[in-house]
Structure 1
Amino acid sequence: MESNQPDQGEEMEMVMDMVGFGGPEEEAPVMSFNMLDPGGGEEEVPVRKSPYQFDLFVIGGGSGGLSCAKEAATLGAKVALADFVPPTPIGTTWGLGGTCVNVGCIPKKLMHFAGIFGDYQGDQRECGWELPTNVPHNWERMVANVQKHIQVLNWGYRVQLIDKEITYFNHYASFVDSHTVALHDKTGKFVKNVTSENFVVAVGLRPSYGGYPGAEECCFTSDDLFSMKSVRDNILCIGASYISLECAGFLHSLGKHVTIMVRSILLRGFDQEVAEKIGSFMEGLGMVFIKGAVPIQFSKTEDGKVRVEYEQNGEQKVEIYGAVFLAIGRIALTKGIKPENAGIVINPRNNKIIVDEADRSSVPNIFSIGDVSDGRPELTPSAIQAGSYLAKRLFGGSTHIMDYVNVPTTVFTPIEYGCCGLSEEKAIEIYGDENVEVYHSMFKPLEWNYLESREGKYCYGKIVTNKLENEKVIGLHYLGPNAGEVLQGFAAAMKCGLTKEILDQTVGIHPTCAEELTKIDVTKRSGRTAAKTGCWG
């Protein structure tokens, strides 16, 4: 299970040399410029008199940190950014861009897309394509192309930092006090201290190994998967999170035999009726679920496989797998930045930084955005928007704060799930069962009528409304093809106060899956079947 990632330090030196800078530790020059006064003459900008080296120092080079740094620089702030990726236990590391670009959304979606071809391989004949079946998949070629795209993105981010005159430190950063960070190289050697008026912490999360004996020696995580040159067959995926189910799904679609070990429920925090449908769909494709089970320890066999000891419903068991993928949760990377030195208050339950509605920590000049912030959605687009808004408040005179209500997302399992707003369970918890009306529909995409293997009981739409607010839509759930594309527009409508009446008045685009959300008229309370029997009901 090798990683083929390039050394980030060497790559940075190459980029900096090309544009004339000395290396990752040399600060980019600050360019002076003049502004034209109203009378047409030139007036030199006053010399910066801050007692600190920078106006803003961003710790973390992921999507949120980059967004904040670039926006602040655009607004005239003197900005620095520090980012360094500690290697995983099997040695995987990556370049600038954070989790989403390197080991999250981007490679996950690309491999999910590759898996779709595998899922439909046997179905193409039903559409008239006389193609061979059971064609083998070339994992190494796919990974090479995925990594090629990621490296283009890494390069682009570095060029953007240079273009915006943002000083980049390819170092670990940790607080000395509320206005100072210490920089250390990858060996832990101290490099120097740097001061700033303001700080933004955007260090994100990394996968947990759960403390199980042998986990770090025997298992791999999503930090490794997308750059591994090969993956053995007969894979055990441990965890019921969206990361576990998404990766299990495309691994199966790419020809691997997959087993999923689940402690309790699938997709905690998501609508549970939809989550159960996803599990049933994946079982129907041939994936095996071990339910009510938790690992005890891992060890390697003589032939390189993994011996897994686990407990299921009180009984201890042992199985041998070709490889074990661990997706049991993620840990906030706050310990390494030494928040206590600056007085930053951390939630002891999850090690995340406690922030107010304006993303400010307990220390007035230190802010936190993205996954590492307590109570925030762990989603790239919300981190990007929050980072941009924060920079505009700090340096652009804006008062606009991030709205975390009705943030849409999609789970890229073999049958995709898009949602926005509250789950049915959460809506009832907040508003009471008597004040929540739930509309739902099961449907079969037109294209699936080609495919005998595709049943019509899995694709599903659910609309959760608040009867106290004229049946305002407070939750919208879609299970079916192209879920992200379907949900994006509905999410905008929910931001505008979408009601069931407005949804009913909306003309759907026919024949599409998206139109099903405009035609749902069966309430759960009615007891009528949610199954569709034709185009119009």
Structure 2
Amino acid sequence: MSFDYDLFVIGGGSGGVRAARVAAGEHGARVAVAEESRMGGTCVIRGCVPKKLMIFASQAGLMAEEMRGYGWEGAQAGRFDWPVFRSKLDAELTRLELIYTANLERSGVQIFHQRATIVDAHTVALADGTTKTAKHILIAVGGRPALPGIPGEELGLISDDLFLMKELPRRVLLVGGGYIACEFATILSGLGVETVQVYRGDAVLRGFDQQARDMATVQLSEIGIDLRLNVTPTGLARAGDRIDVAFNDGSHEEFDAVIWATGRNPYTGGLGLENTGVHLRGNGAIAVDEWSQTAVPSIFAVGDVTDRVNLTPVAIREGHAFADTIFGGRARKVSHATIASAVYLRPHEVAQIGLTEEQACARGDVDVYATTFRPMRSMFAGSNAKVMMKLLVDPGTDVVLGCHIFGPDAGEMIQLAAIPITMGATKADFDATMAVHPTAAEELVTMRQPTRRHRLEVPAQAATA
């Protein structure tokens, strides 16, 4: 059978673009990409990139405070000009979008700037009514913010909307306790917005190491966020120019804006998958095997739409491995076992790789090497903020099972720590590494004795069996 393309990619985000570029540019495949929004996807246009730039902008107040601690009299951040920042941000995102488009075109990829849906195992339909056939179809449409399912939820904003606001709200309610909620609460508070954050749990950042979670929870309050735990909104209603929010404790408050950061769902609705034998999991994620292949041999999926590990570098690696496997004759799988991640709070970030202390304890015996201290830079300026460094070690093999950092530039540190840990480094390898002094990161190679040891208790009957 003759096809229009060797590969048709639905979705122009990080995973889809990488797969298309490698398949076409490196392996000579005939490739097309369809993207219904802006090229670059969530990360580039409405996620990681603009968020990190906003984090930088939000740090000015803390930097001014630190400068005064170092003797710079009268140092202050001044008034933040949102229209000026947003204009520069829009220009930067446009620049990046053009680069993504140019790189695809340079690789010989044909781009359709419109929505595409699946007709059958080898056919896609474009929004303009035309159809295209392909030997392989790759779904890389990512995810979309989830709503909480309460009355009046449509009055709230999602994280995408934050970058499009014409002006900043005076008082905002941010709902959620994950990394998106915590990062945006950090940003808005730093830009001078009165920020209330509510979360249904008793500590933010579920899934991270408990000690890091506790420190992040305290820090959010310390930087001026009104953080309320074990609280959820039950309904929203219009109150003039403001929004009245009802909470589960029976109280009501008014806000200029409400932002939902209550998770993300795979973007599979209306994609046409009912026309195929592709299986979906309970949350709508596309079920794939270790090769990113669905139950239909010609259809593959990578990135957040599969809900494996929802991080941009993971989607990129999955897309690259798919292209090498199918078009390059180099079968490659992606391991999701040991992946580093970071949450960009201020002044201290949260970063981790490997098992949390709780996971390590459930797995078996573990030695915990941990330290908390006031870093030199902030301590001199009068701050009481503390840094935490933690290594989790298997006492039987000496292999480092996990690393957790709460501190300035933790994201930068975890990227470097991820290299030896991914290689299977032992605690002895860390001990043999010379420290760089004075740095906060040197604590990772100077902790000699475990601060605590967890031993998995074996039931008496099992021990004597």
Same fold at TM > 0.5: yes
Q: 2:306 aligns with which of 354, 359, 373?
A: 373
Displacement of 1:111 in angstroms is 0.5
Which residue in the other structure is 1:501 paired with? Answer: 428
Answering whether residue 243 of structure 2 is matched by residue 306 of structure 1, we say yes
CA deviation string 1:147-184 (max 9, x = no partner): 21110011111112221221111121111111111111
CA deviation string 1:379-413 (max 9, x = no partner): 10111111111101111110121122211111001
Q: How far apart, CA to CA, are the structure 1 residues paired with 2:414 and 2:104?
A: 33
Three-state SS of the structure 2 residue aligned to 1:335 is coil
Which residue in the other structure is 1:188 paired with? Answer: none
Which residue in the other structure is 2:98 paired with? Answer: 155
Q: 1:465 aligns with which of 378, 381, 393?
A: 393
Q: 2:125 aligns with which of 171, 176, 182?
A: 182
Task: Give, as a single letter, the amino acid of the residue that structure 1 aligns with 2:68.
Answer: R
Which residue in the other structure is 1:247 paired with? Answer: 184
Task: Give, as a single letter, the amino acid of the residue that structure 1 aligns with 2:370.
Answer: H
Q: How far apart, CA to CA, are the structure 1 residues paired with 2:209 and 2:195?
A: 24
Q: 2:21 aligns with which of 70, 82, 96?
A: 70
Q: Aligned pair count? A: 451
Three-state SS of the structure 1 residue aligned to 2:130 is strand
Answering whether residue 407 of structure 2 is matched by residue 480 of structure 1, we say yes
CA deviation string 1:233-254 (max 9, x = no partner): 1111100010000010011111
CA deviation string 1:236-279 (max 9, x = no partner): 11000100000100111111111110101411111122111101
Q: 1:276 aligns with which of 210, 214, 224?
A: 214
Q: 1:204 aligns with which of 142, 152, 166?
A: 142
Displacement of 1:128 in angstroms is 2.7
Q: 2:417 aligns with which of 471, 490, 499?
A: 490
Answering whether residue 236 of structure 2 is matched by residue 285 of structure 1, we say no
CA deviation string 1:391-436 (max 9, x = no partner): 011111101211222111110011201111111112222x22xx11
Which residue in the other structure is 1:403 paired with? Answer: 335
CA deviation string 1:62-112 (max 9, x = no partner): 000000000000110000111103xxxxxxxxx210000011110111011
Q: 1:413 aligns with which of 328, 339, 345?
A: 345
Displacement of 1:229 in angstroms is 2.0
Displacement of 1:467 in angstroms is 2.2
1:6-405 mapped onto 2 (5 Å cutoff): 51-74=2-25, 75-85=27-37, 95-133=38-76, 135-185=78-128, 191-216=129-154, 218-264=155-201, 265-302=203-240, 304-311=241-248, 315-348=249-282, 350-374=283-307, 376-405=308-337
Q: How far apart, CA to CA, are the structure 1 residues paired with 2:75 and 2:254?
A: 33
Task: Give, as a single letter, the amino acid of the residue that structure 2 aligns with 1:316.
Answer: G
Three-state SS of the structure 2 residue aligned to 1:133 is coil
Q: 1:523 aligns with which of 441, 445, 450?
A: 450
| CA-based RMSD | 1.5
Task: Give, as a single letter, the amino acid of the residue that structure 1 aligns with 2:295.
Answer: S
Q: How far apart, CA to CA, are the structure 2 residues paired with 1:237 and 1:68?
A: 35
Does the 8 A contact of 1:231 with 1:323 survive in 2?
A: no
**Which structure would you say has the larger Rg?**
1
Q: How far apart, CA to CA, are the structure 2 residues paired with 1:121 and 1:320?
A: 31
Three-state SS of the structure 2 residue aligned to 1:460 is strand
Three-state SS of the structure 1 residue aligned to 2:371 is strand
Percent identical: 35
Three-state SS of the structure 2 residue aligned to 1:307 is strand
Displacement of 1:129 in angstroms is 2.2
Does the 8 A contact of 1:417 with 1:483 survive in 2?
A: yes
CA deviation string 1:419-469 (max 9, x = no partner): 11111112222x22xx111110002222113211x115x31011111223x
Task: Give, as a single letter, the amino acid of the residue that structure 2 aligns with 1:370.
Answer: G
Does the 8 A contact of 2:367 with 2:453 survive in 1?
A: no
Task: Give, as a single letter, the amino acid of the residue that structure 1 aligns with 2:135.
Answer: E
Displacement of 1:124 in angstroms is 0.9
1:434-473 mapped onto 2 (5 Å cutoff): 435-452=365-382, 454-456=383-385, 458-468=386-396, 470-473=397-400
Task: Give, as a single letter, the amino acid of the residue that structure 1 aligns with 2:237.
Answer: S
Q: How far apart, CA to CA, are the structure 1 residues paired with 2:114 and 2:270?
A: 12
CA deviation string 1:40-81 (max 9, x = no partner): xxxxxxxxxx51111001010100000000000011000011
Which residue in the other structure is 1:91 paired with? Answer: none
Q: How far apart, CA to CA, are the structure 1 residues paired with 2:452 and 2:404?
A: 18
Task: Give, as a single letter, the amino acid of the residue that structure 2 aligns with 1:119.
Answer: L
Displacement of 1:132 in angstroms is 4.1
Does the 8 A contact of 1:437 with 1:471 survive in 2?
A: no
Does the 8 A contact of 1:178 with 1:366 survive in 2?
A: yes
Three-state SS of the structure 2 residue aligned to 1:523 is coil
Three-state SS of the structure 1 residue aligned to 2:86 is helix
Q: How far apart, CA to CA, are the structure 2 residues paired with 1:472 and 1:428?
A: 15
Q: How far apart, CA to CA, are the structure 2 residues paired with 1:280 and 1:154?
A: 37
Three-state SS of the structure 2 residue aligned to 1:449 is helix
Displacement of 1:525 in angstroms is 2.2
Task: Give, as a single letter, the amino acid of the residue that structure 1 aligns with 2:54.
Answer: M
Q: After the TM superposition, which parts of structure 1 deviate over 3 Å for at least 4 consecutive aligned residues?
A: none
CA deviation string 1:167-219 (max 9, x = no partner): 1111211111111111115xxxxx11111000111100011122222222x21
Q: How far apart, CA to CA, are the structure 2 residues paired with 1:131 and 1:391?
A: 56
Does the 8 A contact of 2:343 with 2:350 survive in 1?
A: yes
Task: Give, as a single letter, the amino acid of the residue that structure 1 aligns with 2:384.
Answer: E
Task: Give, as a single letter, the amino acid of the residue that structure 2 aligns with 1:120.
Answer: M
Task: Give, as a single letter, the amino acid of the residue that structure 1 aligns with 2:184.
Answer: C
Does the 8 A contact of 2:61 with 2:76 survive in 1?
A: no
Q: How far apart, CA to CA, are the structure 2 residues paired with 1:133 and 1:389?
A: 49
Three-state SS of the structure 2 residue aligned to 1:108 is helix
Three-state SS of the structure 2 residue aligned to 1:406 is coil
Which residue in the other structure is 2:458 paired with? Answer: none
Task: Give, as a single letter, the amino acid of the residue that structure 2 aligns with 1:320.
Answer: E
Displacement of 1:121 in angstroms is 1.6
Structure 2: stretches of 5+ with no match in the other structure:
455-465
Displacement of 1:134 in angstroms is 5.6
